[in-house]
Amino acid sequence: MENDSIRSSGTDTLIDLWINGKLRSICVGEEAIGAFVGFAGANGMSEKDRCDFVRTNLPLIIAAAKTRLRDDPVADSISLDAGHLPRPDGRVGDRRKSDRRKEDRRKSNRSGTGTQPDRRRSDRRTGERRKSPKPRP
């Protein structure tokens, strides 16, 4: 890849790539990088750092650009903003710090079976595994 194909302009990072047989300009906004790496980490990034981020995550950016091209296949320029780059942890912008489920889903005391033991806690096979062969006539 040529050095001038990835460049920074203000808060945006611009890339010129061949995608689907056509030269396209991709604009990756600072918000897209911030949503991917975290907004606190993106605030301190210089222009060179943003260009390095785009260079190292180029397959991810190309996949996001191709996804945007499904809406408008003849577009010459594509703009990627917050939410267009999938996050590495699989979340799509969910900012929860903890899991929603607070307790274990299994219930240890099931109603109606107070005297019977739970079948999962006992041995399943208590008898003989093989039956004796049939007597021959």
Domain ranges of the chain: 3-80
Over range 47-51, report the average pLDDT: 88
pLDDT tens for 55-111 read 998 988 988 889 888 888 888 899 888 877 776 665 544 455 555 666 666 655 555
Helix (H, G, I), strand (E, B) or coil at 12: strand
Tokens, residue 89: 């942890």
pLDDT at 45 over 70: yes
Burial class (CB in 10 A: 0-12, 13-18, 19+), 78: buried
Tokens, residue 80: 């990627």
User: 109 to each of 70, 101, 106, 116, 118, how far by Cα in Å?
Assistant: 52, 19, 9, 11, 9
